[in-house]
Amino acid sequence: MTVTSVHNPSHREALWEMEDAFERGDLISVFGRCTVDYEGRASSELGSGDRLVVLKPDGAALVHTDEGRQPVNWQPPGSEHRAAVREGRLRVVSTRTNPAETLTVAFEDVHQLSALTVTGGRDLDLHGSEEDLRTRILERPDIVEPGFEPTETERPSIAGPMDVFGVDADGTPVVVELKRRRVGPDAVGQLARYVRGLREELGINDSGFDGDSVGDADGDDGETPAVRGVLVAPSVTDRAAERLADHGFDHVALDPTDE
């Protein structure tokens, strides 16, 4: 038996079922008319209404209405659930410490209470993350540009760790910044800080002056800096495109979810 369910139980019956479910470590789902109070980092009150309350064996509690992805009230995992009948009504209290928080659900009417025994299958694998994108670039650097050779990831700099660092076909240092979604000017600023930091580190003047360094860009005059910046992202905002142009950085359009 993986589901125990009672419909329109008395508050006492609901309490018995709930205590049994706590004992078994079940996932509990309660649908009923209730008020909800929360006291802790903030405080809130929720008047009477029909809601779905989920109590998890790891201590998480969720109160959902018929709208929104977010629970209207909740308690994080690690909280402790207790149930009782006070003044003839089922009352569920979930508490945690650090910070001290209390969620109280007082039922006027329990429409349905279900205890769900959960078995296995908790393994998720997620693709399309920034981590995934970096792995793919290390495996096939040509998707950044032909001849690109990554040398380090998470290379430390005064502006923080750069996502990917390497050299291009001409041997010029390249800083690559990865973003998994459309970016605004802030990402360009981040890339600019890395490039600026690296130029300082290598003793290269911002204007592109090359003080005996690792290989100047070909033919160009002093305008071309000896460290390049490349932003890898599915797309950029107009403002970001302007700032990329200002800095002389390149944008590689690459969607992390594409193969």
Q: Using CB under 7 A as the criterion, which residues of the chain lie in contact with DNA when the complex forms? A: 38, 40-42, 44, 60, 68-70, 73-77, 98, 101, 103, 126, 128-131, 160, 179-182, 184-186, 237-240
Q: Return the range that interacts with a copy of itself (CB under 8 A); candidates 58-66, 143-151, 186-194, 195-203.
A: 58-66
Options 13, 24, 57, 252; binder of a copy of itself; rule CB under 8 A: 57
Supply 91's token pair: 């009352």
Supply 31's token pair: 């649908």
Task: Determine if 60 is a binding residue for a copy of itself (CB under 8 A).
Answer: yes
| CB 230, min distance to DNA, A | 15
Looking at residues 187 to 226 of the shown chain, list those that interact with a copy of itself (rule: CB under 8 A).
Answer: none
115 half-sphere exposure, CB direction, 13 A CA radius: 17
- Is residue 187 within 8 A of residue 233, CB to CB? The reply is yes
Query: What φ, ψ does residue 231 adopt, rounded to 5°?
Result: -105, 120
Binding partner of residue 139 among a copy of itself, DNA, none, CB under 5 to 8 Å per kind?
Answer: none
Supply 20's token pair: 């049994």
- Select from 201, 190, 177 the least CA-distant residue to 252: 177
* Dist. CA 201–CA 227, nearest whole Å: 11
User: Would you tell me how many other CB atoms lie within 10 Å of the CB of residue 111?
Assistant: 14
User: Which residues of this chain interact with a copy of itself, rule CB under 8 A?
Assistant: 2-3, 5, 7-8, 27, 29, 31, 33, 39-52, 54, 56-58, 60, 62, 64-69, 71-77, 111-112, 114, 116-129, 132, 180-181, 256-257
